[in-house]
Amino acid sequence: MKLLGSPLSPFVRKARIVAAEKNIAYDYDPRPSPLGWPEGFEAINPFKRIPALLPDGDNPDFAINDSSAICGYFEKHTPSPALYPEAALEHGRALWIEEVCDSDLAGKIGLGVFRPIFFNIASGKPADTKTAHAGFEVLAEKLLPYLQDQLGEAQYLAGEAFSIADIALTTQLMNLNLVGFALPKDRFGALRAHYERCIARPSVAQFIEQDQQMIEKMGIVVERQID
Ligand SMILES: N[C@@H](CCC(=O)N[C@@H](CS)C(=O)NCC(=O)O)C(=O)O
């Protein structure tokens, strides 16, 4: 099986964390990215988005082209350890939080904070920190408080165990951290503790290290904005 997509995409990372938790082996092609699509990628995903998964060698006929679809496939492929709660209510809650993180949170982090810093530096321009801080405040107004509220006093977002909901949130926050934004302890202490709990897992920690190495290799130096 082959997984395709740039390692800095939070959606690609989400699928890779699920694969790592389940010890699923795959060939990895990091080339497809919003900054450039390799020739022939359209045969795999005509809508040009990553991640893409080819479950059957290089055969594009059975491509699965969305992180939620890929993670759902991985869960059936290798059921243990389960990353979707068994009980109906917790299962539904996990899918809801995954959806909030993949849509609203991803959009606001990607366009509002990540791109003004990362894409600017990558294209030789100064980081637009003013736009990024304004983008962070948009997150801090409603989305982050909502997610922190959903976590409450619990260790994980849906049920007692680490699940797809925790992965979906963590992978987005990893991109926030990559461009210098930690969650401020005074406003988002519980969410930050949840993030630290999740990134301590070996399935996640490996990507923190690899992402850092990759941006250093690209010559991208990011200043800390919020610690
Ligand atoms: N809902 C999709 C979102 C995938 C997505 O938006 N990926 C971004 C990269 S992070 C992409 O491919 N964007 C294409 C573009 O901007 O042209 C998923 O969960 O996989």
pLDDT, residue 153, reads: 96
**CATH topology assigned to domain 88-217:** Glutathione S-transferase Yfyf (Class Pi); Chain A, domain 2 (1.20.1050)
pLDDT, residue 218, reads: 87
Angle between helices 10-21 and 67-77 (to 10 degrees): 10
pLDDT, residue 24, reads: 98
Taking the alpha carbons at both ends of the chain, their separation in whole angstroms is 39
**For 179-193, how does the pLDDT look when each residue is reduced to its tens digit (9 = 90+)?**
999 999 999 999 999
**CATH topology assigned to domain 2-77:** Glutaredoxin (3.40.30)
CA of 191 to the centre of ligand 1 (A): 25
Are the C-beta atoms of residues 162 and 203 closer than 8 Å to each other? Answer: no
**For 92-127, how does the pLDDT look when each residue is reduced to its tens digit (9 = 90+)?**
999 999 999 999 999 999 999 999 999 999 999 999
pLDDT, residue 35, reads: 86
The pTM (predicted TM-score) of the whole model is 0.98
Q: Is 148 in the pocket of ligand 1 (CB under 6 A)?
A: no
Low-confidence stretches of the chain (pLDDT < 70) are none
* DSSP H helices in 139-184: 144-151, 164-178
In sequence order, the β-bridge partners of residue 64 are 53
pLDDT, residue 63, reads: 98
- In the block, tokens 């243990």 appear at 80
- Domain boundaries in the chain? 2-77, 88-217
pLDDT, residue 57, reads: 87
Q: Is 72 in the pocket of ligand 1 (CB under 6 A)?
A: no
Choose the residue to mutate in 8, 31, 49 for probing ligand 1, maximizing ligand atoms within 8 Å of C-beta.
49
Q: What is the CA radius of gyration of the chain?
A: 17
The atom of ligand 1 lying closest to the CA of 50 is 12
Q: Long-range contacts for 212-220 (Cβ within 8 Å, ≥24 apart)?
A: 212/178, 214/7, 214/8, 215/8, 215/178, 218/122, 220/118, 220/121, 220/122
The atom of ligand 1 lying closest to the CA of 70 is 20
The atom of ligand 1 lying closest to the CA of 8 is 10
